[in-house]
Amino acid sequence: MPSHTVADLLRGLAAGDFSSEEITRQYLNDIEQRDGHYNSFISVTAEQALNQARAADAARANGEAGSLNGLPIAHKDIFCTEGVRTSCASKMLDNFIAPYSATVVEKMAAAGAVMLGKTNLDEFAMGSSNETSFYGAVRNPWNRDKVPGGSSGGSAAAVAAGLAPAATGTDTGGSIRQPAALCGLTGLKPTYGRVSRYGMIAFASSLDQAGPMARTAEDCALLLKSMAGFDAKDSTCMDVPVPDYHAALDQDLRGLKIGVPKEYFSAGLDSAIGDAVHAALDEYRKLGAEIVDITLPHTELAVPCYYVIAPAEASTNLSRFDGVRYGYRCENPQDLDDLYTRTRDEGFGEEVKRRILVGTYALSAGFYDAYYRKAQQIRRLIKNDFTEAFKQVDLIAGPTAPNPAFGLGEKVSDPVTMYLEDIYTIAVNLAGLPALSMPVGLTNGLPAGMQLIGRDFDEGRLLAAAHQYQQVSDWHLRRAPDCE
């Protein structure tokens, strides 16, 4: 089962080679037997999954199959799921049972997808290694002593280990693309507003975006078609037509211009990853694409800009967790001030508290103009860099992460070094653009990822470019040693 892609499984289900109930039971059995090695799931919804699988089989028998009918998937535990715990990997929400489902969850269920369970993540999606989870760190299937990346590390590890053919993730500063790179997957961060954020518990509202994580670009195309679309319940969701991404995968790449920013190949980049990206660009040349040197001059400002804006928005979004309405509450509070103070101190982990403090400081009366307003001005400069670049090229390419997966515990005590793990991905979120990471090599037995960045709502071109590369390479088919 681990060798099956989403596309393979959907073809097999349509042909009657197996039933949804059969493959769902297999995945549930694999999770039970093997997830102890990876800690990729927080909750497994076995009974619900089997019921959904039987319903999918019945729908197919009646000629009513949806586009993902019978496909087992996993959801990052930041998406509300009615009647199922939605924890955000935090003690604060360890006892929270969502009373409704996120739009992404509803749309995929309507397409016939079967939910295997909820995957682990960095607490409230704050982290780049999946080590800040209240439920413990996630381990990378390529090497269990390494991190899977974050914050969507549980989703990445589950797919890389063959415990699910695909999973949802969220990306605020690289949290789909970076774990996809570290775990040898294809992961897509759509344009801001392409996918509804309703029911996706907010970290930084102007940056968060949901997207798919799977083996291949073809898989991501199939998943995005079901995830995307306008939602009146989300005021940031754009009313833009959703194309048939799968039908457009065979676009000819002759004449496609791919820009390569000089800023993405700096001294901080692992040389082996740089070599892998350049080798992939050589393949694009063979496919008829033109490689163009470009510059994104404000790249170095992306990380400090992000770590003002994102904590500021997190400070506001997480103010609702006060022990009054839902979630964790401290024991025997002496008064309201004690209730607020101890609930938040005991309920949040260290990284979440660090970002709340930074964000609150940046928004405070004496510092708003010096920090938050200035960061928003820099954000506009970063967006302008991309606008100018896309006057010359169709896509932008570079490394996804500066190095392969690093050791568990290696960077936990140095937050600034950890923040630099997202140095190539953060600018995309600040600009609201779509971007995709795909595997392009191995370095010391660990996956290397390349990032492709596109214009607003140009996910189809991104997916087609990745798919064409995957037709002439096999890095996306390589399996973690645990899964061979």
For residues 288 and 460, give the distance between their C-alpha atoms in angstroms, rounded to a whole number.
18
CATH number at residue 174: 3.90.1300.10
Residue 431, domain member (yes or no)? no
Residue 135 lies in a domain: yes
Residue 144 belongs to some domain of the structure: yes
- Please check whether residue 97 lies inside any domain of the structure: yes
Residue 65 lies in a domain: yes
Domain that holds residue 37: 6-255+461-483
pLDDT for the residue 484: 61
CA angle 327, 328, 329 (to 5 degrees): 120
What is the pTM (predicted TM-score) of this model?
0.96
List, by residue number, the catalytic residues: 76, 151, 175
Q: What is the pLDDT of residue 3?
A: 62
Residue 227 domain flag: yes
Residue 202 domain-assigned (yes or no): yes
Q: Is residue 25 part of a domain?
A: yes
Give, for all 484 residues of the chain, the pLDDT tens digit: 546 899 999 999 999 999 999 999 999 999 999 999 999 999 999 999 999 999 999 999 999 999 999 999 999 999 999 999 999 999 999 999 999 999 999 999 999 999 999 999 999 999 999 999 999 999 999 999 999 999 999 999 999 999 999 999 999 999 999 999 999 999 999 999 999 999 999 999 999 999 999 999 999 999 999 999 999 999 999 999 999 999 999 999 999 999 999 999 988 899 999 999 999 999 999 999 999 999 999 999 999 999 999 999 999 999 999 999 899 999 999 999 999 999 999 999 999 999 999 999 999 988 999 999 999 999 999 999 999 999 999 999 999 999 999 999 999 888 888 988 999 999 999 999 999 999 999 999 999 999 999 999 999 999 999 999 999 999 999 999 877 6
Domains in the chain: how many in total? 1
3-state secondary structure string, the chain? Answer: CCCCCHHHHHHHHHHCCCCHHHHHHHHHHHHHHHHHHCCCEEEECHHHHHHHHHHHHHHHHCCCCCCCCCCEEEEECCECECCEECCCCCHHHCCCECCCCCHHHHHHHHCCCEEEEEECCCHHHCCCCCCCCCCCCCCECCECCECCCCCCHHHHHHHHCCCCCEEEEEECCCCCHHHHHHHCCEEEECCCCCCCCCCECCCCCCCCEEEEEECCHHHHHHHHHHHCCCCCCCCCCCCCCCCCCCCCCCCCCCCCEEEEEHHHCCCCCCHHHHHHHHHHHHHHHHCCCEEEEECCCCHHHHHHHHHHHHHHHHHHHHHHCCCCCCCCCCCCCCCHHHHHHHHHHHHCCHHHHHHHHHHHHHHCCCCHHHHHHHHHHHHHHHHHHHHHHCCCCCEEEEECCCCCCCECCCCCCCHHHHHHHHCCCHHHHHHCCCEEEEEEEEECCEEEEEEEECCCCCHHHHHHHHHHHHHCCCHHHCCCHHHC
